[in-house]
Chains A and B, each alone.
Chain A
């Protein structure tokens, strides 16, 4: 592998022990993946933020790195935390959890990272362009960056994305290389795919089947999917499988600009979404919490929730998770306040998957997110109902899941 003089110096410790450690991780990955060289990155997205996911061990790991002088070299955004960094008390987050969570944020700030705390950095300004190299973690954001934006990143782990941010480099292998970005799986979707939940169900099914391959979708009975639908499609495939890049004919960045479907692809036909819904939707009747915003809600989704609530009172708790900047926009136009006046909450900075939801007394959760449903079931052992945004909002109103 070729390293530049500057990279060799970083690896030798010329920029201090923190940069040396970052280079060691980057170079180890480059060796594993037989990269010929490293590539400078224009941005990073760092996962491993919520105290629920990191625990004390993870906090200790980050603290040590920061104490060694770790500072990022490129604009870097953070994944969600386990709570709203401002309104955590109102959400009933235990104080001990909150204290640890704020310590984690402080450590990242010390490294020069803005506490954006969102899984949708592309909605708040971390928006790389076609062909640009980045080092992103957060599997759903990776999928969005590669697929919708046409930027180039592998599925970095939290520590490897941080290592890339600190060194300014990542190993040039995998999806950084043109030849690995072509689809060898063609997915012919013949049934209607409409709601965000439909796209989540479809993503769940395809992710299970293709693993880490690149699928190419032909949506035969659907108009062009919106940003909101593309983000859940990628998120679900990255959760049930390890899909980091997909193409949608006529829609995603590279599918619009070139030939990305390999000759003689393995073809899979989807005639209905039943399999996806059956795997993700449970049997609970009473709903404690309704969760919208996985990945984080766009302004349009917040507006839609306010519209569906239509001034009614919620019986179950309703959380709409989003980025702080998007919340500010929703406040400015009054939609966040509309949701709150109905009894719902618009929660910034947070992901429910990292929040202390058992301690908060939630047993059953309804969501329209395929990724959310998948992890609530598998990671948190929750009772889950999975359906359309309309069904979810009705469940928030009645406290019951209505078929």
Chain B
């Protein structure tokens, strides 16, 4: 399945999807050293976003989150790519300064955790885990 969206950061990324139906706050919500989601009660709590294609509706929380994304990147525990339903400034700038391929305006209900996903420019190729 191919989905088309809008480029936030131009690039190519491949990986396994990690999907959150809830918004993600990077500052306070993700450990900048390990890439683990640490927000209590978050549906991804305890899971690592490192190397994943992170799929979530939008960012939330403190604006320091852009630097958290940059730190994840320097520690090599950032997501390989990010897909949002509709992006906001904190995550978008984090992706831009960290050069993480990112697309938004995607119907994220089409993607499930474990799917193989390729981001290429404004296109998202989803290979459903069940069909592999």
Contacts and interface: CB of A to CB of B under 8 A. Distances in A.
Contacts of B58: 212, 242
A151 to B, nearest CB: 16
B115 to A, nearest CB: 25
A76 to B, nearest CB: 15
A153 to B, nearest CB: 11
Interface of A: 25, 28-29, 32, 47-48, 53-58, 60-61, 137-139, 142, 154-161, 211-212, 238-239, 241-242, 374-375, 377-379, 381
Nearest to B9: A28
A184 to B, nearest CB: 16
A378 B88 contact: no
B45 to A, nearest CB: 10
Contact of B93 (A157, A211, A242): A157
B71 A57 contact: yes
Nearest to B96: A28
A25 B97 contact: yes
B88 A242 contact: yes
**Chain B interface residue count: which class?**
35 or more
14 contacts: A25-B97, A32-B92, A48-B67, A54-B67, A57-B67, A58-B70, A157-B65, A157-B66, A158-B67, A159-B66, A160-B93, A241-B60, A377-B40, A378-B40
Interface in B116-132: none
A156 B63 contact: yes
B96 A53 contact: no
Given A55-B71, A61-B70, A242-B23, A47 B64 contact: yes
A379 B37 CA distance: 10
A138 B63 contact: yes
B35 to A, nearest CB: 14
B74 interface: yes
Contacts of B100: none
A227 to B, nearest CB: 22
A54 B70 CA distance: 9
Given A28-B92, A139-B61, 11 more contacts: A32-B8, A48-B64, A48-B66, A53-B64, A54-B67, A57-B74, A57-B75, A61-B70, A139-B63, A157-B90, A375-B28
Nearest to B8: A32
A295 to B, nearest CB: 12
Nearest first, the 4 closest Cβ-Cβ pairs linking A and B are A379-B28, A157-B66, A57-B74, A137-B63
Interface of B: 6, 8, 23, 27-29, 32, 38-40, 58-68, 70-71, 73-75, 87-90, 92-94, 96-97, 104
B75 A239 contact: no
Contact of A157 (B6, B8, B63): B63
A212 B86 CA distance: 12
Contact of B62 (A32, A60, A139): A139
Contacts of A47: 62-64
Name, among A47, A211, A381, the residue most crowded by chain B CB atoms within 10 Å (CB to CB): A47
A25 B96 CA distance: 8
Contact of A55 (B32, B66, B96): B32
A160 B89 contact: yes
Contacts of B61: 139, 238-239, 242
Contacts of B62: 47, 139, 238-239, 375
Name, among B65, B70, B87, the residue most crowded by chain A CB atoms within 10 Å (CB to CB): B70
A278 B88 CA distance: 30
Contacts of A374: 28
Given A28-B96, A53-B27, A159 B39 contact: no
A244 B6 CA distance: 24
A157 B62 CA distance: 8
Contacts of B74: 55-57, 60
Contacts of B39: 378
Contacts of A32: 6, 8, 87, 92, 104
A30 to B, nearest CB: 11
Contacts of A138: 63
Contacts of A375: 28, 62
